[in-house]
Amino acid sequence: MPLSERVHAIYDGVFALLDKHAPSAVVVEDLYASYDFPRTALLMAHARGVICLAAHQKGLPVVTLAPAEVKRAIAANGAASKEQIQHSIQRLLSLAELPRPSHVADALAMAFTGLGRMRLLR
């Protein structure tokens, strides 16, 4: 699909999720740009932009977190591995099983850290 169709699909999907689940905020990862992969950073910026737009249109605050901040909050180590994050999230949320794939644990870690940040700001 052309870029315009891809970002529109992301927007529509995020807007529908926000409609369905009515969260109180949206948490996104801070954009990291690697000089080795500038195209990836630009594409991610487009995705983050439409996610932020959908949140704004729903009147939701957007919390931006750096990966190292999330790792420190969840595993007490800003350079924690994916496995450490999975185990920490399992323990923090009293999950019977390890969250899989690791992206699930990453999303839960972002949500958990974002919630903590919002509570501190209140």
Find the CATH number of the domain harbouring 49.
3.30.420.10
Domain of residue 33: give its range: 3-121
pLDDT at 120: 76
pLDDT, position 18 = 98
Phi and psi of 27, rounded to 5°? -115, 130
**Tens-digit pLDDT string for the chain (122 aa):** 999 999 999 999 999 999 999 999 999 999 776 677 788 888 889 999 999 999 999 999 999 999 999 999 999 999 999 999 999 999 999 999 999 999 999 999 999 999 998 887 76
What is the model's pTM? 0.85
**Residue tagged 């870029």 (tokens):** 3
SS (H, E, C) 29-88: ECCCCCCCCHHHHHHHHHHHHHHHHHHHHCCCCEEEECHHHHHHHHHCCCCCCHHHHHHH
Residue 119: per-residue pLDDT = 83
Structure confidence at residue 34 (pLDDT): 67
Which of helix, strand or coil describes residue 25?
Answer: coil
pLDDT of residue 31: 79
The pLDDT value given to residue 33:
67
31 contacts: CB under 8 Å, gap ≥ 6? 41, 44, 45, 48
Number of domains in the chain: 1
The residues, any chain, with a CB within 8 Å of residue 57's CB and separated by 6 or more, are: 15
